[in-house]
Amino acid sequence: MAMVIENEGLLGFPYWSSARRRFSPDSPFFASGNIERELLAKQIALDLTEDEKHQLQNMENEEGRAVFCPIVGCGARLNSLEGFEDHYNARHTASCSVCSRVYPTSHLLSIHVSEAHDSFFQAKVARGFAMYECLVEGCGLKFKSYKGRQQHLVDKHKFPASFEFFKKAHTSKKQRLKNQRKQAIHKREEASCTMEVEDETIDGLVSAVSKLSTSDSPSSVSFGHRHTRGLTFVPRAVQREKRPDSTPAGMKR
Amino acid sequence: MADEGLVSHKRDPLKSSVGNVAAHRRRQHAVTIGKERREAVVRTKRLCRVGISEDSDVSIDNDMVLDEEQSILEAQTSSAVKELKASVAYQGKGVMQRRVSAIRELRCLLSRSEFPPVEAALKAGAVPLLVQCLSFGSPDEQLLEAAWCLTNIAAGKPEETKTLLPALPLLIAHLGEKSSLPVAEQCAWALGNVAGEGEELRNVLLSQGALVPLARMMLPNKGSTVRTAAWALSNLIKGPDPRAATELIRIDGVLDAIARHLRKADEELATEVAWVVVYLSALSNTATSILVKSDVLQLLVERLATSNSLQLLIPVLRSLGNLVAGDTQTSNVLVPGHEITDNAIAALIKCLKSEHRVLKKEAAWVLSNIAAGSIEHKKLIYTSEAVPLLLRLLSTAPFDIRKEAAYALGNFCVAPTEGAGKPTLILEHLVSLVGRGCLPGFIDLVRSADTEAARLGLQFMEMVLRAMPNGEGPKLVEREDGIDAMERFQFHENEDLRNMANGLVDKYFGEDYGLDE
């Protein structure tokens, strides 16, 4: 199959590299052309009707390509690439009504809501209950700390060590201006949004969480044209470390 | 291959009014084919329904076989084989005639329907008898009928085709220059079916020396024999081992014949020869360099430009694509400024405009490879009609075509790679393409479930974010919901894509984004 040389700069980003792509004759790339050849040859023998030709064409369009949803933990099998968009919109766009973060499943969303917006959750954690639920649907295990759950995800479910469930929110300019007025809280929020949630005192957390009430954060952050989704990306110092096990999985052409 | 040239009747018998059963049968078969396609089993074989030589008696009666008739057919086949056996053992008067009649009877049974009773024939022991009938010195009629039977047996399932192993050396032998033409052709047809079965059988045939006699049969100017031989050759050299392809191009007279046929032959023969070129160019670097130095390249471009037959255009386009793809950086196949290059681009544009999906996709692929050449190449295509067509394909075509269009458009924006480090961008092209609205198309690719497409989209977005003047990049991307698209990778299972997307968002949509306005 074709291989494109990757240029990785400082960022580790593989830049677009202009290169020729060559395929072997039995490559799936050529499959539709091959089918056309044999169909047309078969036509001489079979005299397919227009309907049958269309039926076969439709079958080829699917190209037997079993598309699997790439969202972690989903893996749903889809009929076609076209079907993926529908699937994604239907199943992976659950958003938090408090902070507008978007999650790919309602399971993850509910975990987020408990862990980020529920003061009673933190109260129970402080009292030693195992509250941090495993992210993988069907597992059901719970842990006393965020770290503990994280470790479980890596050990048991082979999540990459860099996988972060809870991240600081990246908000719109409007929202940031609002937040700048509450600098002190914002700074505290920064600290509390890192992984070591259990280092904060209950009081600190509760007050921070209560300040994130619906009166301050709009129920839908307006950003660009989509009005119902908030941004969840943030400068991620953690990510910039080189991971020893980063392999180009799935980067075949 | 049904020789429609000699026999004027069309395939009407299949449309006979046996009513719903017939239609159902055909549909079933079509569905079966569909299933096979999905399992990527490409039928490379051809059933022989009609005789090659003019005086073979042709009886295409109602050949829709109903279910009840199938078992009758099988019974008839068994008894035909029995009769054949008897006739082979028979020593008395009129032995030749009896033998020929027996084989012919079997041949008719094996040619009647789309589902010849091969299993029944094999079970009754047909193959060893047919092998005997192929012995040297047998009358032509006998050889022809025997080879015909074997052709149709070999058009079936793998295990059925494998039973022909004992017959192969004889079939190859009868390709010889002293054989009568119809006999040689029918043997070539049988061998083509055997070769189409798979790599193992191909290797057997090659070891037994099938290549040279078949190649020789492709040298004359015209005739159905030439066409059948070309088709059989394409099955024989299709690899994946490149040795047969390399050997073929080196045989005396082959290159000349290929060029001659591409130049002058009718579209049917040119089609089969073009498929030979497809495999030569895809598998063998030796063949590629020989072809490129010859007239073949130009002849391919001419055919591409002038023909309207999809059957022909597909292998011609693909051959051209293979030759361009196999091109090394140092010696460009299509040099900017030469007439052939302009003609090639014009012909590719014609394919982009075609309604046929395969042509659009593979033409975009070829253009993307030409665009991966020097800056002159990029400028040459960029100023042509290709770009608006590619832009439209990027927005509206089916997914696989969109991906190829994306490759081409992106390649316009990047200078040839020289060693390590960030490749230089061709800003003028990038700005122009973004100005013509290509960004949504790339962002759409980012949203797809296909890893390669998502990667392409992200790579293009990176260029836009990095290089659009006046820091416009991030705003443009945001406007087209690009941030949204990158967000999806937060929970994506592919680590590389996650890192790419995260990296871009971190760098271009960090906390300071939008603050200085």
Name the residue with tokens 């394909």.
B393
Q: What type of residue sits at position B246?
A: T
pLDDT in tens, B73-124: 899 999 999 999 999 888 888 888 999 999 999 999 998 877 789 999 999 9
Q: Is the pLDDT of residue A162 over 70?
A: no
pLDDT of residue A109: 84
| Residues paired with A142 in a beta bridge | A133
Answer whether B1 sits within 8 Å of A104, measured CB to CB: no
User: Does the structure show a pLDDT above 50 at A5?
Assistant: no
pLDDT surpasses 90 at B129: yes
Residue of A233, A246, A253 to mutate when probing chain B, most B C-beta within 10 A: A233
In chain A the first and final C-alpha atoms are separated, in Å, by 6
**Would the pTM of this model clear 0.90, i.e. be above it?**
no
pLDDT of A158 > 50? The answer is yes
3-state secondary structure of B267: helix
Helix (H) or strand (E) holding A15: strand A14-15
pLDDT for A58 beyond 70: no
Task: Please tell me whether residue B412 adopts helix, strand or coil conformation.
Answer: helix
Q: What pLDDT is attached to residue B514?
A: 66
Q: Which of residues 431-460 of B touch A (CB under 8 A)?
A: 447-452, 455-456, 459-460
Q: What is the 3-state secondary structure (H, E, C) of A83-102?
A: HHHHHHHHHCCEECCCCCCE
How close does chain A come to B266, measured CA to CA in Å?
17
Q: pLDDT at position A170, please?
A: 45
The first and second tokens of residue A54, run together, are 């269309």
Q: Which of A39, A224, A248 sits opposite B479 (nearest CB)?
A: A224
What pLDDT does B72 receive? 87
Rounded CA-CA distance A226/B482 in Å is: 11
Under the banding of pLDDT at 50, 70 and 90, the label for residue B266 is: very high
Q: From chain A, pick out residues whose CB is under 8 angstroms from the CB of B495.
A: 160, 162, 246, 249
Scanning B397-492, the segments in alpha helix (DSSP H) are 399-412, 427-435, 439-447, 451-467, 472-479, 482-487
Chain-centroid distance of CA B113 in Å reads 26
With cut-offs at 50, 70 and 90, classify the pLDDT of residue B69. confident
At residue B477, the pLDDT reads 94
Q: Smallest CA–CA separation between B74 and chain A, in Å? A: 21
Total Cβ atoms within 10 A of residue A5 = 11
* 3 state DSSP class of B104: helix
Res B446: pLDDT: 93
Q: Name the residue facing A35 among B37, B496, B502 (closest C-beta).
A: B37
Position B4 pLDDT exceeds 60: no
Q: Which residues pair with A226 in a beta bridge?
A: A223
Residue B406 CA, chain-centre distance (Å), reads: 24
Q: How far apart are CA A113 and CA B393, in angstroms?
A: 43
Q: Which of A100-104, A227-231, B26-30, B193-197 has the highest mean pLDDT?
A: B193-197
Residue range B293-350, pLDDT digits in tens: 999 999 999 999 999 999 999 999 999 999 999 866 555 788 888 999 999 999 999 9
Cβ separation B499–A249 shorter than 8 A? no
Check residue A135 and give its pLDDT: 82
pLDDT of the residue at A214: 39
Structure tokens, A19: 């290169």
Tokens representing residue B339 in the block: 């007439």
Residue with tokens 């090639």: B344
Q: Would you state the pLDDT for residue B148?
A: 94
CB B146 within 8 A of CB B103: yes
Cross-chain residue pair A28–B314, CB shorter than 8 Å: no
The residue of chain A with its CA nearest to that of B319 is A25
CA B113, CA B67: separation in Å to the nearest integer? 12
Burial readout A217-251 (b: 16 or more C-beta within 10 A, e: otherwise): bbeebebbeeeebbbbbbbbeeeeeeeeeeeeeeb
- Interaxial angle between packed helices B375-382 and B339-353, expressed in degrees from 0 to 180 and rounded to the nearest 10: 50
Interface check for A30 against chain B (CB to CB < 8 A): the answer is yes
Q: Supply the mean pLDDT for chain B.
A: 86
DSSP code at position B17? S
Within a 10 A sphere around the Cβ of B471, how many other Cβ atoms?
10
C-alpha span between A204 and A206 (Å, rounded) = 5
Judged by a CB distance cut-off of 8 A, whether residue A246 touches chain B is: yes
Mean pLDDT (chain A) is: 63
Q: Which residue has the tokens 């269309």?
A: A54
Of chain A, the percentage scoring pLDDT greater than 90 comes to 12
CB burial of B96-120 (b: ≥16 within 10 Å; e: otherwise) equals: eebbbbbbbbbbbbbbbbbebbbeb
Distance from CA of B509 to the nearest CA of A (A): 8
| ipTM of the shown complex | 0.83
> What's the whole-number mean pLDDT along residues A43-66?
52
Q: Is A183 on the interface with B (CB under 8 A)?
A: no
Confidence band, pLDDT 50/70/90 cuts, at residue B9: very low
Tokens of A31: 């499959």
Task: With CA atoms as reference, report the closest residue to B113 among A45, A37, A39, A50.
Answer: A45
**pLDDT of A41:** 57
CB contact, 8 Å: A94 with chain B? no
Lowest mean pLDDT segment, chosen from B15-29, B135-149, B252-266: B15-29
Query: Cβ distance A104 to A91 under 8 Å?
Result: yes
Write the pLDDT tens digit of every residue in B372-425: 989 999 999 999 999 999 999 999 999 999 999 999 999 999 998 777 677 899
Q: Which residue among A19, A64, A70 sits closest to B492, beta carbon to beta carbon? A: A70
A225 falls in which pLDDT band (50, 70, 90)? very low
Q: CB distance from A40 to chain B under 8 Å?
A: yes
Write out the two tokens for B62.
């109602």
Q: Which residue has the higher pLDDT, A239 or B367?
A: B367
- Write down the pLDDT at residue B328: 67
Query: Coil, helix or strand for B286?
Result: helix
Mean pLDDT over B204-224 rounds to: 93
Query: Residue A13: pLDDT band by 50, 70, 90 thresholds?
Result: confident
Helix segments in B210-266, DSSP class H: 211-217, 224-237, 243-250, 254-264
B179 half-sphere exposure, CB direction, 13 A CA radius: 30
What's the CA gap between B409 and B292, in Å, rounded? 26
Strand A7-8 relative to strand A14-15, pairing? antiparallel
Measured between CB atoms, which of A46, A173, A224 is closest to B515?
A: A173
Q: pLDDT tens digits for A185-216? A: 545 554 444 433 333 444 444 444 444 433 33
Contact B116, B136 (CB under 8 A): no
Sign of the torsion formed by the C-alpha atoms of A187, A192, A196 and A202:
positive
B29/A84 Cβ within 8 A:
no
d(CA B41, CA B233): 19
Q: Give the percent of chain A with pLDDT over 70.
A: 47
Secondary structure of B118-184 as H, E, C letters: HHHHHHCCHHHHHHHHCCCCCCHHHHHHHHHHHHHHCCCCHHHHHCCHHHHHHHHHCCCCCCCHHHH
Mean per-residue pLDDT for B273-285? 96
Answer yes or no: are the C-beta atoms of B457 and B444 closer than 8 Å. yes
The answer to whether B94 faces chain A, any CB pair under 8 Å, is no
Which pLDDT belongs to residue A235?
35
| B368-401 burial: b if 16+ Cβ within 10 Å, else e | bbbbbbbeebbbbbbebebbebbbebbeebebbb
